[in-house]
Amino acid sequence: MENHSDGRIDNQLRENIMGQYLGYDPRMAICGIVVLPVLIWWFKVEATNKVKWFGYLMILFFVHGSIELAHVINTTILRYIFELPILYLYFTSYKRYGYAGRGLVIPFILVSLVSSIQTSPMMWVLFLLYFLEIFMLFIYFRNNYEGEEATLLHKLFWLLACSQIPTAIIKYFMVGVTEPYIGSMSSHEGGITTVFSLVMYCYALEMYFCTRERKYLLALLGFVLFGIVGAKRALAFFFPAFYFVVLILHSLCTHSIVRNTKKIIYGVICMPILFILLCILNPSFNPEKKVGGSFDLNYVIEYSGKYNNGGFGGDDKAGRANAMAIIHEKMLNDNLPHQLFGYGSGLLIASSFNSKKMDSYARMKVFGVGYSMGIGYLTLLAQVGFMGVIPYFLIFILSSIDLLRKTKAMSPYMTQTEIGLCVSAILTLICIITLSFFYNNTSFFFNCASVLNMWFIAYAYITLDKVKERITA
């Protein structure tokens, strides 16, 4: 029997914006206790002041959601507490290294400037902050940490990521399987669950392939659990599929396709089982609408088709499956300036400086697509057109190609751990590109998941620098 209320409930949850906590349980702020062991460890660690204080900032950042739920500080001020130091560190740091595709940032800025004629200078500034802040963070990481400092920070980020696994257990027993309460990282923004779980799943799997250390296998299971309790349907498809993506990339970078035949067989056997398990544990994907229901493949396919086509009503009758076609049709039938430069940089950003209220209902009226405009590709396309979206995505694509080329070339001189770190960074970029093109825009904005992403990519480059020095020594 169909339950159309699920779609309406999902839409209502997603429409809660920053600062609105009607229906959110402040008791879930207790999830913040999971970082206490990390904080104690960090307090005892010996490090320079630069590393020490940045580490404290990151620990605090990973309890962002718990602070929100505790209502101890205004959400806007809380955002500035984290973002302003990042901007300060970027602008005051010496920039020796760039990144592949960095030359495309200037064209992106110029395109967004032209597009801002349709909005305002203030919305242009906000647009750049929203979409370029992660690159500022990457540049800061790349240029300010190396050697033991970088190794120490990497361990900190790994522990912070792992600290989120116990929050899934707390969440399950307090509120059950639901989209809000993304660990201690955020109270809403369910897209963080997808990005965080998938990237960490890939990281743990690749590190396990390289090192065979059991801790990575246990962590992998923990990140799958985090995704399950976060009620993200897409992960039922992404987890099994990305097992093979990880395996293929690992084989390419280690030149070991034949040696990994056993892993391919394991995947062919175990990934369908994982898919079935994920469907059984997700209330949306079983007829009983409960955790631990029965598995019915036809039901899963039918539900997924209706969900992605907007078949559950709410304010978005298009759904993700049709959103791409609808937006493309609108833009290609419009005039050339709109095709090239979109409808205004910052148009879709919620701000008091924005003269147009672009909530989901308004987007549905203007574009024919509501919630599904949150797909990263469509978010950019609508604001800065094809001239803006192409260079932005190319930055990620060129970075992944650059890392792949360097990792394959240097792999004979690298330890298994170093190979794992570099391959994990390439996987992170693949996750960013895939999810941003088809699913959400979370990887583009400053949040705990995007901070982890940028650190993994930066640390891979730091690792390659170390290997290069070792080769030329």
pLDDT tens digits, residue range 265-288?
999 999 999 999 999 999 989 899
pTM: 0.92
DSSP tag of 309:
T
Tokens of 451: 């901070």
**Long-range contacts, stretch 127-133, CB < 8 angstroms, 24+ apart:** 127/345, 127/346, 127/349, 127/383, 127/384, 128/345, 129/83, 130/349, 130/444, 130/445, 130/446, 131/380, 131/392, 131/444, 131/445, 132/105, 133/83, 133/86, 133/87, 133/445, 133/446
CB 346 within 8 A of CB 126: yes
Q: Which of 372, 386, 339 is nearest to 438 (CA)?
A: 372
pLDDT band at residue 312 under the 50/70/90 scheme:
low
Is the pLDDT at 225 greater than 60? The verdict is yes
Query: Which one, of 189, 152, 50, 131, lies nearest residue 345 by Cα?
Result: 131
Residue 234 carries which DSSP code? T
How confident is the model over 148-171, as pLDDT tens digits?
A: 999 999 999 999 999 999 999 999
Q: Are 429 and 457 in contact (CB under 8 A)?
A: yes
| Token pair in block for residue 276 | 């079935």
> Residue 420: which domain range?
5-472
On whether the CB atoms of residues 417 and 211 are closer than 8 A, the answer is yes
pLDDT tens by residue, 332-368? 999 999 999 999 999 998 888 888 888 778 888 888 8
Q: Is the dihedral of CA 280, 284, 285, 288 positive or negative?
A: positive
pLDDT of residue 7: 37
- pLDDT tier for residue 230 given thresholds of 50, 70 and 90: very high
Radius of gyration of the chain (CA): 22
**Which residues in 14-43 are b (16+ Cβ under 10 Å) and which e?**
bbbeeeebeebeeebbbbbebbeebbeebe
347 near 367, Cβ under 8 Å?
Answer: no
Residue 315: per-residue pLDDT: 55
pLDDT in tens, 252-266: 998 887 788 899 999
Of all residues in the chain, what percent carry a pLDDT higher than 70? 93
Helix (H) or strand (E) holding 458: helix 448-472
Mean pLDDT of 130-156: 95
For 161-199, b where at least 16 C-beta lie within 10 A, e where not — what string?
bbbbbbbbebbeeeeebbbbbbbbbbbbbbbbbbbbbbb
State which H helix or E strand residue 306 sits in.
helix 297-308
List pLDDT tens digits, range 386-395. 999 999 999 9
Q: Write the CB contacts of 184 (distance below 8 Å, at least 6 apart in sequence).
A: 31, 32, 34, 35, 62, 63, 64, 65, 66, 163, 164, 167
The two structure tokens encoding residue 329: 């049709």
Number of domains present in the structure of the chain:
1
Q: What is the DSSP string of 244-304?
A: HHHHHHHHHHHT-TGGGHHHHHHHHHHHHHHHHHHHHHSGGGSTT-STT----HHHHHHHH
Q: Residue 23 has what pLDDT?
A: 58
Structure tokens at 345: 């940089």
Closest C-alpha among 471, 462, 395 to residue 429: 395
Confidence at 31, pLDDT banded by 50, 70, 90: very high
Kindly compute the dihedral angle of the four CA atoms of residues 230, 236, 240, 243, in this order, to the nearest 10 degrees: -30
Neighbour count for residue 280 (Cβ, 10 Å): 20
Give residue-wise pLDDT tens across range 440-459: 999 999 999 999 999 999 99
Q: How far apart are CA 7 and CA 315, in angstroms?
A: 10
DSSP state string for 317-365: SSHHHHHHHHHHHHHHTS-HHHHHHTT-TTTTS--TT-SS---HHHHHH
pLDDT at 190 over 90: no
